[in-house]
């Protein structure tokens, strides 16, 4: 086995590789950018070396700098993780030329599958089912438009050199095609350095199901069953699980055989994933399946396979790269139970999933156990930076069957609390309770079609929810009175608002978004009379143990999962939905309106990729003015009102700071 391994990555995957290496007694070497000098993967590794500036192209994409560190430190092998250089043919070949083992497939395999077009042509030769489309070299726009018309609509445009859904566009008519093609080409060129497109018939309501494959240098190739990744938003996976609730045994066997055939077609060595799109019949049963692409690396969602199969795929990668045969033959592969993974992100689902950044003032996650696994790259006090993917952690659960695993996930998410940048935890809690997920019928476009069912929007907490939050706050206050410890019976040590000739009244005020809730409270020690507007309730027998509140609301017993402190209350209501109520001063308060009527500002740091407005232009409300790229996504900045542009202060390729004014409107 290798004695020294360099991890050419960061964040949770670098930490995850380090853990397996440490268990195997392998010395680990980390690399880091200026933004990551205090990151967890730097602290976990046995040694760590700087490789450049904060941007990926200044550091984690610099293969020459990484190989130089490997040489200086005596690393025998490099594990690329996923993303960055993990599927880079040039980097894989450079490692080989330097006499360093690349823990992944050979350059020829990466090259064969790196181009979607070439991969589809190769799969056709090996009888792997394909979606009708065009994947040729002629990239003339007029010719592509002709091919689109020939294939028929709807169709999907995909960057040939891309991955992760970046640049994909669904087109439903000839009229839409030119603009969609221009957008897809622009994103592909910026992201992958290659604007080549392939066209495919778009299958309505498809399922995305991938198979984990593994090959060694002894001619063995097997699959480790499937992962369903149909819960997606804008082609980005949101929830992954295994086994798929959609497949029957016959379809699973056929797809597994096709996945192995795809891997053998490129003499595959190491861990890879063959991704399929699966249609459905009118009765809802699985229809035909078609090859989409092969990812020549470990996948983000690999832990669900590990938990159901009782294996460590990173250990398999290390052993296969060291020349050992696969630990299992196909007939020995067995799956047990059901596993589900979600990704905790610093993003704001209520505002278009805008990525966030900043210090994690509080990061509370569930306890790891045989049923719960956490793969993270940050801890409380760390910062989520603007330079990389804003993932905080992956949360994975396992249980004996799917309903039990879903309940485990609900409980695990309820135990999460993130203070600092906004997070997607509440969105994920709604997701794992939604009928489309519970009934196993979600398709890849469902979230985009029904997004309002998964985000909070303009909803407001019920009076009972607000009153439960008040009780927890009152109990917190009563425990944290600062009095005279020498006289525990002093009336000054009691937080009950008592006064002579008056039944003590306290005001508790909360803010939920732009709404204010002001509650009058009388009583103490578990008995309270509460009023919020016209709503009233009497609370008796209230007990709160820092996590669970139980009390009688007008004589009816209720139980809530609730955490509280001097600043906020985090509470799950009777339906299990999360509410975050910020405590605010008990005086008149009013949400300030935005000042954005005459200007458009950058919502976050990023790069301007397209400017569509000029000074003097007349524009309509909602018209697109600029396009920004930030944290692996494009942001469309639109006119807040109709009017005349006074000035534009950014040009294409400019890097801009958050809140920088990019467009000003002339006064009406």
| Multiple choice CATH, 4-103, 3.40.50.150, 3.40.50.20, 1.20.1560.10, 1.10.1040.10 | 3.40.50.20
Residue carrying the six token digits 């906004």: 422
Query: What pLDDT does residue 591 have?
Result: 40
In angstroms, rounded to a whole number, what is the distance separating the alpha carbons of residues 348 and 359?
15
CA distances from residue 611 to 167, 217, 662 in whole angstroms, order as listed? 18, 51, 10
Q: Backbone dihedral region of 165: left (phi > 0), alpha (psi from -120 to 50 degrees) or beta?
A: left
User: Beta-carbon neighbour count of residue 589 at 10 Å?
Assistant: 11
Angle at 331 between CA 329 and CA 332, to 5 degrees: 65
Inter-helix orientation angle 313-321/302-309, to 10°: 100
Q: 427-466: buried (b, 16+ CB within 10 Å) or exposed (e) per residue?
A: bbbbbbbbebbeebbbbbbbbeeebeebbbeeeebebbbb
In angstroms, rounded to a whole number, what is the distance separating the alpha carbons of residues 231 and 208?
8
- What CA dihedral angle connects 287, 293, 294 and 300, to 10 degrees? -90
Q: And the tokens for 444?
A: 């890849």
- Sign of the C-alpha dihedral, residues 467, 468, 470, 471? positive
Query: What pLDDT does residue 495 have?
Result: 54
| Multiple choice CATH, 463-584, 3.40.50.11240, 3.30.700.40, 1.10.10.10, 3.40.50.720 | 3.30.700.40
In angstroms, rounded to a whole number, what is the distance separating the alpha carbons of residues 419 and 568?
10
User: What is the 3-class SS of 300-364, one letter each residue?
Assistant: CCHHHHHHHHCCCHHHHHHHHHCCCCCCCCHHHCCCCCEEEEEEEECEEHHHCCEECCEECCEEE
3-state helix, strand, coil in the chain (%, to 5): 25, 35, 40
pLDDT tens readout for residues 118-134 = 888 889 888 899 888 99
Residue 209's closest CA among 94, 112, 290, 128? 290
- For domain 132-201, the CATH class is alpha beta
0.75 exceeded by pTM: yes
List CB contacts of 561: < 8 A, sequence separation 6 or more.
414, 547, 548, 571, 572
Q: Which fold has domain 596-665?
A: OB fold (Dihydrolipoamide Acetyltransferase, E2P) (2.40.50)
Q: Backbone dihedral region of 389: left (phi > 0), alpha (psi from -120 to 50 degrees) or beta?
A: beta
pLDDT tens readout for residues 503-545 = 568 899 999 877 889 999 999 889 999 999 999 999 999 999 9
Query: What pLDDT does residue 502 have?
Result: 47
- Which CATH architecture describes the domain 337-457? 2-Layer Sandwich (3.30)
List CB contacts of 441: < 8 A, sequence separation 6 or more.
284
CB of 336 closer than 8 Å to CB of 310: yes
Q: Which residue positions in the chain have pLDDT lower than 70?
A: 163-164, 457-458, 481-504, 587-596, 630-633
For the chain, the domains span 4-103, 132-201, 206-336, 337-457, 463-584, 596-665
| Multiple choice CATH, 206-336, 3.30.460.10, 3.20.20.70, 3.90.78.10, 3.30.470.20 | 3.30.470.20
Do the first three CATH levels of 463-584 and 596-665 match, i.e. the same topology?
no
Which residues are catalytically annotated?
Answer: 297
Query: What pLDDT does residue 7 have?
Result: 98
């Amino acid at each position: 086995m290798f004695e020294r391994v360099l991890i050419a990555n960061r964040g949770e995957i670098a930490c995850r590789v380090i853990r397996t290496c440490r268990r195997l007694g392998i010395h680990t070497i980390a690399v880091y950018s200026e933004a990551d000098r205090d990151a967890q993967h730097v602290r976990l590794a046995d040694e760590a070396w700087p490789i450049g500036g904060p941007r990926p192209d200044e550091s984690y994409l610099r293969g020459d700098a990484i190989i130089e560190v490997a040489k200086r430190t005596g690393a025998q092998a490099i594990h690329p993780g996923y993303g960055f250089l993990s599927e880079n043919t040039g980097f894989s070949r450079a490692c080989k030329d330097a006499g360093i083992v690349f823990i992944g497939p050979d350059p020829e395999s990466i090259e064969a599958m790196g181009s979607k077009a070439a991969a589809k042509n190769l799969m056709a030769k090996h009888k792997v089912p394909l979606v009708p489309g065009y994947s040729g070299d002629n990239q003339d726009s007029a010719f592509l438009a002709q091919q689109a018309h020939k294939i028929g609509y709807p169709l999907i445009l995909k960057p040939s050199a891309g991955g992760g859904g970046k640049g994909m566009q669904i087109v439903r008519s000839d009229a839409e095609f030119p603009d969609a093609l221009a957008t897809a080409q622009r994103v592909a060129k910026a992201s992958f350095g290659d604007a080549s497109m392939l066209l495919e018939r778009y299958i309505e309501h498809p399922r995305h199901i991938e198979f984990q494959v593994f090959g060694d240098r002894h001619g063995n190739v097997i699959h480790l069953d499937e992962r369903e990744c149909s819960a997606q938003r804008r082609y980005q996976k949101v929830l992954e699980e295994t086994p798929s609730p959609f497949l029957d045994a016959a379809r699973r066997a056929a797809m597994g055989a096709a996945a192995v055939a795809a891997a053998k077609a490129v003499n595959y060595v190491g861990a890879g994933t063959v991704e399929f799109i699966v249609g459905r019949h009118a009765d809802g049963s699985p229809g035909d399946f078609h090859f989409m692409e092969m990812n020549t690396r470990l996948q983000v969602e690999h832990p669900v396979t590990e938990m159901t199969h009782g294996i460590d795929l990173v250990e398999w990668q290390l052993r296969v790269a060291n020349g050992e045969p696969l630990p299992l033959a196909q007939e020995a592969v067995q799956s047990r139970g059901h596993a589900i993974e979600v990704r905790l992100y610093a993003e704001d689902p209520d505002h278009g999933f805008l990525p966030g950044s900043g210090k994690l003032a509080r990061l509370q996650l569930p306890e790891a156990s045989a049923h719960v696994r956490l793969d993270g790259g940050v801890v409380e006090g760390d910062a989520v930076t603007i330079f990389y993917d804003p993932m905080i952690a992956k949360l994975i659960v396992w249980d004996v069957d799917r309903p039990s695993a879903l309940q485990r996930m609900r409980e695990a998410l309820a135990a999460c609390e993130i203070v600092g940048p906004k997070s997607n935890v509440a969105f994920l809690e709604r997701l794992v309770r939604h009928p489309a997920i519970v009934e196993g019928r979600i398709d890849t476009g469902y979230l985009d079609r029904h997004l309002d069912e998964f985000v909070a929007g303009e909803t407001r907490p019920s009076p009972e929810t607000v009153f439960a939050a008040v009780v927890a706050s009152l109990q917190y206050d009563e425990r944290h009175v600062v009095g005279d410890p020498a006289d525990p019976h002093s009336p000054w040590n009691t937080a009950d608002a008592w006064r002579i000739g008056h039944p003590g009244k306290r005001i508790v005020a909360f803010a939920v978004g732009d709404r204010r809730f002001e509650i009058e409270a009388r009583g103490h020690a578990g008995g309270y009379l509460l009023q919020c507007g016209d709503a009233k309730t009497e609370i008796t027998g209230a007990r709160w143990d820092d996590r669970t509140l139980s009390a009688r609301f007008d004589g009816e017993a209720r139980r809530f999962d609730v955490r509280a402190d001097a600043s906020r209350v985090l509470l799950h209501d009777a339906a299990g939905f999360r509410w975050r109520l910020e405590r605010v001063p008990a005086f008149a308060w009013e949400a300030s309106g935005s000042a954005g009527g005459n200007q458009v500002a950058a919502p976050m740091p990023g790069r301007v990729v397209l400017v569509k407005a000029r000074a003097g232009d007349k524009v309509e409300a909602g018209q697109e003015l600029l396009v920004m790229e930030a944290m692996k996504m494009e942001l469309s900045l639109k006119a807040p009102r109709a009017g005349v542009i006074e000035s534009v202060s950014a040009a294409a390729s400019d890097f801009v700071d958050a809140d920088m004014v990019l467009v000003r409107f002339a006064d009406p």
